[in-house]
Structure 1
Amino acid sequence: MTTIAPARPAPPRRRREWWIPAGLLALTFVPVVAGVLRLADLATGEADETSQRFFDLPLPVVVHVLGACTYCVLGAFQFMPSFRRRRPRWHRWSGRVLVPAGLAAALSGLWMAVWYDLPAHDNAALMWVRLVFGSVMVAGLVLGVAAILRRDVRTHQRWMARAYAVGQGAGTQAIVLGPMVLVVDQPGGDLKASGMAAAWVINLVVAEWLVRRSQARQPSRRVW
């Protein structure tokens, strides 16, 4: 008789780490759904006053939605340390998809912030907030790639975490701006700009804390 050994349970640390991609995927759920609905609107040709600007020139918003969805969903698994160690090749190859997707999302977002007409409930302050944090995302991706080409893993991790934190801004903005809708029917102007900026700052602070905490537990390395 052949005895089948029971499957080994996953190490406790590995099980605990699954909250990272799970939490990031939960955070990106609302923006992904909103992006899919936006593409569906473009496909059906149903425009209202606030979305007519997208129908007049749809390519930037299509690039932005596809790039951001790919970047946020696939990138969620890059921040699980044990997964990176067990699948280093996957980490490298997925990075080759993530960087172009992230740049496409960020650069198209910058283009839209400058060239699309501002809706009635937005203002110049919100445009500048988008430009500042979009530029941070682009810089993070470029500096992250430059760091890994130098085989500086720690700097690479920090810049990639910062870029991803900005990319995930829409999810946190839904949480921050959501309660405002209960008080103000359509938060706009400086109130909306402040809420969106606060969400991006929250993401950057949390990302900085998490990556530095993770690196403090690891030996110093320069080769991936």
Structure 2
Amino acid sequence: MTSTTVAATMPRTRRRRPEWLVPAGLIALSLVPIAAGAFRVTDLTTGGTVTPENARFFASPVPVIAHIVGSSVFLVLGALQFAPSLRRRRWHRIAGRIVAPAGLVSALSALWMTLFYAMPSINGPGLYVMRLVFGTAMAGAIVFAFVAIRRGDVTTHSAWMTRAYAIGLGAGTQVFTFLPWTLYFGQPGQVMHTVLMGAGWVINLAVAELVIRRRANRAHLS
């Protein structure tokens, strides 16, 4: 038997991806909104210059600071929850008790700002509705996930937290939906601004549903 034949008859081993690849990618995607948030908090706490664009934040700083802190914690610790080795350890449960409240703070503060801040004119009625829908969906997903884990349904819990994380990560993906348009066409108008913002959330949720389906298929086969 030739070496070629032996190689052909040997079982193929699938090369597994490094388990930290996904968490690292999610954190990298979060860096731009986290950095922008850190800059905003620094500006507010050190008495930065008030402009028409940021006057609403200086007039009522608590909601935006709560949103930035909650979102940053949710995105970083939430990304680590996707590491399989950590999911099998006590750390996952401990971190989850921080991730879920941080996510609720992020979602509820976003809803508050949408309802009560005077938004720039570039934010049209379509974006107003989308922010209400996605903010409510994110908060609801976290509540559903909490209820599921309380009754011991790990699969449903994981699915709903994945959806909540996808919505929370929308600001990271929106950087990449805006970048090509801005480079080629300049600053988008109100309608396109709404479309590009919405695309970030829709892309993330589509990927989340694929991840949830793949998990279900693997569980069915095992």
Q: Same fold (TM over 0.5)?
A: yes
Structure 1 counterpart of 2:45, from 32, 43, 46:
43
SS of the residue aligned with 2:219? coil
- Structure 1 equivalent of residue 72 of structure 2: 69
Following TM superposition, by how much is the alpha carbon of 1:48 offset from its aligned partner in structure 2, in angstroms? 1.4
What is the match of residue 173 of structure 2? 172
Bigger radius of gyration, 1 or 2? 2
Q: CA deviation at 1:184?
A: 4.4
Q: Is residue 125 from structure 1 mapped to residue 102 from structure 2 by the alignment? A: no
The runs of at least 4 consecutive aligned structure 1 residues that moved more than 6 Å come to: none
Structure 2: give runs of 5+ residues left out of the alignment: 1-14
Matches within 5 A, 1:81-96: 81-85=84-88, 87=89, 89-96=90-97
Aligned length: 207
Give the corresponding residue for 2:108.
107
- Identical amino acids, percent of aligned pairs: 49
- Mark the CA change 1:33 to 1:99 in structure 2 (over 3 Å): closer, same or farther: same
Q: How do 1:150-169 residues align onto structure 2 when only pairs under 5 Å count?
A: 150-169=151-170
| Secondary structure of the structure 2 residue equivalent to 1:217 | helix
Unaligned residue ranges in structure 1 (runs of 5+): 1-11
Deviations 1:70-94 (A, max 9, x none): 0001100111223212x2x111111
What amino acid is aligned across from residue 59 of structure 1 in structure 2? V
Separation in structure 1 between the aligned mates of residue 46 and residue 181 of structure 2, nearest angstrom? 31
Partners of 2:220 and 2:97 in 1: CA distance: 26
Aligned-residue offset at 1:44: 2.4
Question: 3-state SS of the aligned residue for 1:112?
Answer: helix
Q: TM-score scaled to structure 1, two decimals?
A: 0.88
CA distance in 2, matches of 1:143, 1:151: 12
Q: TM-score, normalised by structure 2?
A: 0.88
Please list, as runs of the form range in 1=range in 2, the aligned pairs for 1:12-27 lying within 5 A after superposition. Answer: 13=16, 16-27=18-29
CA deviation profile, 1:96-130 (whole Å, cap 9, x unmatched): 00111000000000010111002122211111111
Do the aligned partners of residues 188 and 97 (structure 1) sit closer, same or farther apart at CA in structure 2, a change above 3 Å counting? farther
Q: How many angstroms apart in 2 are the aligned matches of 1:27 and 1:194?
A: 20
Distance 1:51 1:185 in 2: 22
Residues 1:187 and 2:169 are matched in the alignment: no
Q: Which residue of 1 aligns with 2:199?
A: 198
Post-superposition Cα deviations, 1:169-192, rounded to whole Å, max 9, x if no partner, equal 000001101122224443241211
Secondary structure of the structure 2 residue equivalent to 1:187: coil
Distance 1:26 1:66 in 2: 17
97-106 vs 114-123, which moves further: 114-123
CA shift in 2, pair 1:54/1:191, >3 Å? same
The code of the aligned residue for 1:26 comes to: A
Report SS of the residue matched to 1:146: helix
